[in-house]
Structure 1
Amino acid sequence: MNHLAHALLAGDDDALRLGGMLGDFVRGAPDDAWPREVVMGIRLHRAIDVYTDAHPEVLAAKAQLAPPYRRYAGILLDMWFDHCLARDFPRWSAVPLARFSTDLRALLHDREPQLPPALQRFLAYMQAHDLPAAYARTQVLGRALAGIGQRLQRANPLADALPVLQAQASALDGHFEVFFPELQAFARSWIYQAGIDHAKARPD
């Protein structure tokens, strides 16, 4: 899953949400300097990724993509599913998408000096392009895919992938509709089993 999904699945806790955003930018063991709840948010991010990669609906969605796009199906579905989530955000969250997106960026800005350099750079990109809210717009999704493709070392078809995703939209959206509620239940269960005290989970 991509940034919007990870932030939403972290629930209402700022610390877990911060960890959810850090998850793509931290390798290896999380820094012990972070509060426990932030570290748990990083671990939740990783657990979500493992659950997602093995889910039958996600595997079926990947199979919808023909070569050469199937090789990049993980990236493409992460982005398309964030688009689905943003497009229909009122179905999944009581908080309006614009406010959720602004609040997420504000959370990152508050901790910007402590963020990894790559996340600091991505935060500037988020601010400039109104992310993650703008993922609801297909043209923004297309530009984001092209940008990812440029950052990959080997030649790839990501810049041309948006029409392919749109052609498969009905099938991909159907897989998302089944998958995402199950992912929400998984995340809630993980947080409960981790014993997170929601009243104290703040990125101090």
Structure 2
Amino acid sequence: MNYLAHLYLADDRPLSLIGNLMGDFHKGAVDANLPEDIRLGILRHRRIDSFTDSHTLFKRSRGRLSGPHRRYAGILIDMFYDHFLATHWEVYSDVPLDDFAARVYSIVRQNRSQLPARMQRSMHYLVETDLLRSYRNIDGIDRALKGIATRLTRPSPLGQAITELERNYQFLEADFSEFFPELVRFAATRPETAPDVA
């Protein structure tokens, strides 16, 4: 899953949100010097990714992509699912997406010192471009994919991959609508335990 889904599935505590964002930027054993909520957030992020990547519905969505985009299917479906979460936000949350995003941006700004150096640029981009709210629109997903493509070391077709969302929209939306409630239940019923620490 991508930023919005990880944030939605995080515990509501500020440092849990930070930890769930940090999951893609923190590799290996979890640093014992990190605050507990951040450590547990990183673990939750990893557990959610593991559940998602192995799930039949997520694999079905990946299989809908064509040609050169298949190599990047995991990234693309993560992004497309964030789009569907944003467009159907009111189904899953009583807090408006505008308010949720504003709170996340405030927490990110307040906890900048907790972020690894390699995460700082991405979080600056998240806040300054209002990325979470932009996911409601196909144009927002398109801009995000083009941004990812420019940060990769090798040329990739991600900058043109919005065609996959447009071509498969109804099928991917149906996959998401079936999958996401299962992910929500999984995240709620399997709380993290104390992490292995370095």
What is the TM-score with the length of structure 1 in the denominator? 0.91
Cα deviation digits, residues 51-73 of structure 1 (max 9, x gap): 00000000011111111111110
Q: Unaligned stretches of 5+ in structure 2?
A: none
Note the C-alpha offset of 1:119.
Answer: 2.1
The one-letter amino acid of 2:166's match is Q
Residues 1:175 and 2:175 aligned together: yes
Specify the alignment match of 1:3 in structure 2: 3
Specify the alignment match of 2:186 in structure 1: 186
Specify the alignment match of 1:123 in structure 2: 123
Percent of pairs with identical residues: 39
Give the direction of change, closer, same or farther, for the CA distance of 1:81–1:51 in structure 2 (3 Å limit): same
Q: CA RMSD in A?
A: 1.4
Note the C-alpha offset of 1:13.
Answer: 2.5
Cα deviation digits, residues 105-159 of structure 1 (max 9, x gap): 1111111012112222122212221121111111111011011112222221111
Note the C-alpha offset of 1:88.
Answer: 1.3
Q: In 1, Cα distance between the equivalents of 2:52 and 2:40?
A: 18
> 1:26-175 counterparts in 2 under 5 A?
26-175=26-175
Q: In 2, Cα distance between the equivalents of 1:157 and 1:168?
A: 17
| Contact 1:44/1:190, CA 8 A, preserved across alignment | no
| Contact 2:19/2:41, CA 8 A, preserved across alignment | yes
Note the C-alpha offset of 1:160.
Answer: 0.7
Cα deviation digits, residues 63-120 of structure 1 (max 9, x gap): 1111111111000001000011111111111111011111111111111012112222
Q: In 1, Cα distance between the equivalents of 2:89 and 2:102?
A: 14
Count of aligned pairs between the two proteins: 194
Q: In 2, Cα distance between the equivalents of 1:60 and 1:152?
A: 26
The one-letter amino acid of 1:94's match is D
Q: In 2, Cα distance between the equivalents of 1:94 and 1:50?
A: 27
| Contact 1:30/1:39, CA 8 A, preserved across alignment | yes
Q: In 1, Cα distance between the equivalents of 2:72 and 2:46?
A: 19
Q: In 1, Cα distance between the equivalents of 2:58 and 2:171?
A: 11
| 3-state SS of 1:74 partner | helix
Note the C-alpha offset of 1:20.
Answer: 0.3
| 3-state SS of 2:91 partner | helix
Q: In 2, Cα distance between the equivalents of 1:36 and 1:11?
A: 12
What is the TM-score with the length of structure 2 in the denominator? 0.93
Note the C-alpha offset of 1:37.
Answer: 2.1
- Stretches (4+) displaced over 6 A: none
